[in-house]
């Protein structure tokens, strides 16, 4: 259950970081401070963390696939 909550939090944080980067890109056309790059760097870090949490969850058995076409 903890892995699912962490995955949801990281996913939402990833969406928020992407929106913040878009906002920085649209409001500051010159982007002399590099805000867009900083926000996108945060997004990449969050995406890597999300992939790592999902991988650890799948390896440990805390997360699993429950698609109807998968028959175990």
Q: What is the mean pLDDT of each run of 10 residues along the chain (72 residues)?
A: 92 95 85 82 95 93 80 62
**Residue 72, pLDDT score:** 58
Q: Count other Cβ atoms within 10 Å, centred on residue 18.
A: 16
In 3D space, the residue among 33, 40, 37, 48 whose CA is nearest the CA of residue 17 turns out to be 40
So what's the pLDDT on residue 51?
96
- pTM for this entry: 0.81
Q: What are phi and psi of 61, to 5 degrees?
A: 90, 5
Do 14 and 50 meet the contact criterion of CB atoms below 8 Å apart? yes
Domain ranges of the chain: 34-62
Residues 6+ apart with CB under 8 A from 37: 31
Please, is 13 exposed, middle or buried when counting C-beta atoms within 10 Å of its C-beta (0-12, 13-18, 19+)?
middle
């Amino acid at each position: 259950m903890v892995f699912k909550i962490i995955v949801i939090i990281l996913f939402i944080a990833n969406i928020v970081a992407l929106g913040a980067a878009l906002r920085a890109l649209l409001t500051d056309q010159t982007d002399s401070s590099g805000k867009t790059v900083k926000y996108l760097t945060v997004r990449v870090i969050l995406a890597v963390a999300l992939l790592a949490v999902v991988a650890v969850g799948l390896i440990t058995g805390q997360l699993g696939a429950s698609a109807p076409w998968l028959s175990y």
